[in-house]
Structure 1
């Protein structure tokens, strides 16, 4: 059976999202966006335009004033708290600038956390560590790792339970350019291998260049980047990656 485009359920669909803060400050207005299964998309834009707000709405950490977030066909706003928590555990993975690796747990224990939460066999944690280049390091602790290695652990943890969607917020912001290049190549490769769709917020044109497409968030909404690509993937290593953090809310 051949599936038509209309038969494929998007990994993520945002419909008419509106969000404002304080005295009527509009952050997102009638935002529409669709992310296909397995697609890797970079979201860029100036500080303060709402990139982190968009991630928070998708992750269920904040609620839109109106509009809908659909993850793998499920409307998040229609779920009660328990169902929303289950959806986040099963369908989402997260990669952040600060790694958020738990220092008192071994690498294998850190990666196994999503498996435990989803009542899945934890043996996959060691396989995932091997997939990100950390074979034989399962009993090590985070204090023994470099920044690039810590981000590899974070990527392994985000992907180990094979989520539908990965949300990444400046995942290479704390890394030097060469390490960032290696980590991004691994991140893209592993997300494609597991079939996860990925939304990556970044200030770095070099980081965005690994994406299948680049979207620009501005006061006018979310639009495809115009003109020539920021950088080709083969040019990545010759440029300095931006290390700016996105503090927008």
Structure 2
């Protein structure tokens, strides 16, 4: 499943990836997939079909039975633990449903974590907070924020080190519909502005409507489907502070 307009070096490639669990239950069967820079893809499917497994394989947190996963041309499947950790730090950004901000750190410190892990200056953290509508909030603590604002912090943290690939796991699952629309519009705008590629796992049709492609994971394979009908959600612009 490789669109003709992908870059010559996709942000992500899955090549003949296979994964099965005990009892012979096949989760992924010869999965081929590619994701190009600036592309936003939604992965949908019933509970238990393997969406989280797919994310874990891409992130190098689980290993395939066969095949390989390449991030920006590097096969994470073939790296040892230390090298895989370095690749995750440099090339990946993560946005989760539960936000995973550190409560004892300020917003600026939370956003700066990927920079510090990569030996970079923390200075861009404040600019990234401003980009997601939280200018002037760098010294605030997470307990002072709403759920939507916390997700904005998570997006800023995922993007601040300019990763090649963003993995988003139900990023709006804890948000009300209006806030979810605003956060998704922001995620799309900022990932495209930074040149990242984004894979979002979601059960939400409203969230999937923001994607360039929607793929259904079923029977161990990804199946293309028509984009959901557009609603007025795209009329909602990201709220700026």
| Normalised-by-shorter TM-score class | over 0.9
Question: Counterpart in 1 of 2:232?
Answer: 235
**Would the alpha carbon gap of residues 72 and 237 (structure 1) be closer, same or farther in structure 2, given more than 3 Å must change?**
closer
Q: Tell me, in whole angstroms, the C-alpha distance in 1 between the residues paired with 2:161 and 2:143.
A: 25
Q: Tell me, in whole angstroms, the C-alpha distance in 2 between the residues paired with 1:32 and 1:124.
A: 36
Provide structure 1 residue ranges, at least 5 long, that are not aligned to the other structure.
239-249
Q: Tell me, in whole angstroms, the C-alpha distance in 2 between the residues paired with 1:8 and 1:197.
A: 14
Question: Counterpart in 2 of 1:193?
Answer: 193
Q: Tell me, in whole angstroms, the C-alpha distance in 1 between the residues paired with 2:215 and 2:78.
A: 28
Given that residues 178 and 237 in structure 1 are in contact (C-alpha distance below 8 angstroms), is that contact kept between their aligned partners in structure 2? no
Equivalenced residue count is 232
**Would the alpha carbon gap of residues 129 and 224 (structure 1) be closer, same or farther in structure 2, given more than 3 Å must change?**
same
SS at match of 1:187: helix
Q: Tell me, in whole angstroms, the C-alpha distance in 2 between the residues paired with 1:237 and 1:89.
A: 32
TM-score by length of 1: 0.90
SS at match of 2:229: coil
Alignment of 1:86-105 (within 5 A): 86-105=86-105
Aligned-pair distance for 1:142? 0.3
Deviations along 1:126-169, one digit per CA (max 9) or x if unpaired, are 00000000000000000000000000000000000000000000
Q: How well do the aligned residues superpose, as a CA RMSD in angstroms?
A: 1.5
Question: Counterpart in 1 of 2:239?
Answer: none
Q: Tell me, in whole angstroms, the C-alpha distance in 1 between the residues paired with 2:207 and 2:39.
A: 15
Alignment of 1:1-249 (within 5 A): 8-219=8-219, 221-226=221-226, 229-232=227-230, 234-236=231-233
TM-score by length of 2: 0.93
Question: Counterpart in 2 of 1:244?
Answer: none
